[in-house]
């Protein structure tokens, strides 16, 4: 079992990495610039997302959109932080992947919440193409949330298979 300090340390490391990368992009890449890393596959860009993940709610009213997104983010963060704290007594199914998954989600949510609360938008800079399709730009926090959610699903699926046997 991963200790509480280690769990929250993972979250803090994600938040710091997210802040450092966003700061670097904001200082070194002009708005809407495109730096091709792997032609047709991966670019570094500098965009501002006023909505949620992948541009959801990007067109909503400014003040209400920000309040809703900050409120939902805070609620998710409180829930995840409580789960991370309680894990030794309330063990999630699937073993040690669950605390890491929750720590990634918490760190990513904190990173995007910081941007949203301080600026009203989130800096995105990773742009990926799959064939002719462009994936919406994202950042380190989005990646941590997605990887954490995927790990959590796999962890719970694995635990379900183990109890079914």
Contact 118, 20 (CB under 8 A): no
Tally of CA atoms within 13 A in the half-sphere of 148 that contains its CB? 23
Tell me the two tokens of residue 96.
């040690």
Between 4-28 and 62-86, two packed helices, what is the crossing angle to 10 degrees? 150
The 8-class DSSP code of residue 51 comes to S
Catalytic residues: 124, 142
Tell me the two tokens of residue 84.
């991370």
Whose CA is closest to 34, among 121, 123, 127, 122?
127
Contact 147, 89 (CB under 8 A): no
How far, in Å, are 129, 137, 158 from residue 39 at the CA level? 9, 16, 37
């Amino acid at each position: 079992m991963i200790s509480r300090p280690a769990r929250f340390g993972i979250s803090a490391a994600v938040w710091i990495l997210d802040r450092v990368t966003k700061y670097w992009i904001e200082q070194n890449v002009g708005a809407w610039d495109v730096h091709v890393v792997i032609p047709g596959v991966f670019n570094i860009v500098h965009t501002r997302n006023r909505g949620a993940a992948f541009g959801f709610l990007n067109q909503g009213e400014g003040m209400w959109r920000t309040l809703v997104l900050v409120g939902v983010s805070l609620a998710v963060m409180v829930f995840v932080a409580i789960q991370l704290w309680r894990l030794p007594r309330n063990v999630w199914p699937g073993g040690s992947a669950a605390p890491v998954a929750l720590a990634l989600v918490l760190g990513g949510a904190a990173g995007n919440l910081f941007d949203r609360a301080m600026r009203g938008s989130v800096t995105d800079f990773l742009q990926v193409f799959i064939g002719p399709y462009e994936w919406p730009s994202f950042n380190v926090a989005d990646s941590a949330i997605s990887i954490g959610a995927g790990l959590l699903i796999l962890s719970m699926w694995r635990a379900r298979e183990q109890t079914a046997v």
